[in-house]
Amino acid sequence: MSPTRRAAIGALLAAPLALTGAPRPAAAQTAITIQHALPPNSHYGVGAVAFRDTIDRAAPGRFRVTIQRNDNEREMIESVQIGTVDCTITSTGPVGNFVPETRVFDVPFLFRDYAHARGVLDSEIGQGVLQRFQARGLYGVVWMENGFRHLTNSRREVHTPEDIRGLKVRTMENQVHMRAFSTLGALPTPMAFSELVPALQQGTVDGQENPIPVIVANNLNQVQRYLTLTAHVYSPAVLICNPGLVNRLNAQDRAAFMEAARAAQRANRDKVSADDANGVEELRRRGMTVTTQVDTARFQQALAAAFTVYERELDGALLRRIRDWRPAGG
């Protein structure tokens, strides 16, 4: 059938609808479910809301974003991989089990401060690692943030590496972190976030480590007495989506999607900075005993054996590049 003839018939068919004033069928909306492990007012929650509000503004009516809570990050990543969940905001805790190239970012004392970490993740180093997600059936959209992790426990004040010896410490399901704590003489117990509070309440573990925003948002002060500001590792987070969802978007929708992802990153990082600035005082006010004077150099010395393994088993050259990274002109 000739194109002109097809167009004529199309117009004919549309005519009655126009005449009747019936609303034109809305172009198919793209539904996006975003899951994350933390409360709505947390640094992940505000990121997810910024994503939803920005995509609604950038592409009105094109997307329907639903935000859900699920405190098992490994499960969420698996669901995104098989496509039963569209996107997740997750720490890199269990991500290394899916995308091993991310493990370099989990090495303790690798990043000097937030500017260093954010700079590296936004640089070609971080973007290069995001590219590796697709080969694993995942789409790494944008780096987000969990924050610098600190140790809490219910047994004793911790000032030195020696004070950690013998403590049963919950870690994420992360080999790099587990090696660090076993090297310090602690007993690392990997478990999903969903199991953390019951394990602390029942004494299955004595302690755990998380950024201030997570400790505050989840009231971990109710099950932990001592907080030590070890800042022993920077905990990146990442917005991961199902590749099928992203690859189906047309150019206009993809642009709106990426604009929303960048807005989510900004809102998330701003919230981490705010919680980090106010959270320690808040936890003190809630009754935690806070140790601020921590001899970081002694912790790094105590981890020497672990660093040797990281250099060998992870990408040693990349680790050195990250350590030496400076902002342009810096």
**Secondary element (H or E) of residue 176:** helix 175-183
Length of the chain: 330
Q: Please state the closest distance from residue 38 (CB atom) to ligand EAX, in A.
A: 6
CA–CA dist 226, 298 (Å, integer)? 20
Phi, psi of 132 (to 5 degrees): -75, -10
Number of chain positions touching ligand EAX (CB under 6 A): 11
Residue 299 interacting with ligand EAX (CB under 6 A): no
Tokens describing residue 44: 């992940």
Q: Please state the closest distance from residue 272 (CB atom) to ligand EAX, in A.
A: 11
Residue 93 interacting with ligand EAX (CB under 6 A): yes
Residue 176 interacting with ligand EAX (CB under 6 A): no
Is the separation of the CB atoms in 48 and 142 below 8 Å? no
* Helices and strands counted in the chain (H then E): 13, 9
Q: Rounded to whole angstroms, what are the CA distances from 305 to 96, 161, 183, 184, 302? A: 21, 14, 7, 10, 8
Near ligand EAX by CB under 6 A: residue from 32, 37, 280, 283 = 37
Instruction: Map residue 325 onto helix, strand or coil.
Output: coil
Closest by alpha carbon to 172, among 138, 203, 207, 208?
A: 208
Contact code string over 100-139 relative to ligand EAX, x by CB under 6 A: ----------------------------------------
Residue 174 interacting with ligand EAX (CB under 6 A): no
Residue 263 interacting with ligand EAX (CB under 6 A): no
Residue 227 interacting with ligand EAX (CB under 6 A): no
Contact code string over 233-252 relative to ligand EAX, x by CB under 6 A: --x-----------------
Q: Please state the closest distance from residue 45 (CB atom) to ligand EAX, in A.
A: 11
Which residues of the chain form contacts with ligand EAX (CB under 6 A)?
A: 37-38, 73, 91, 93, 146, 172, 193, 210, 214, 235
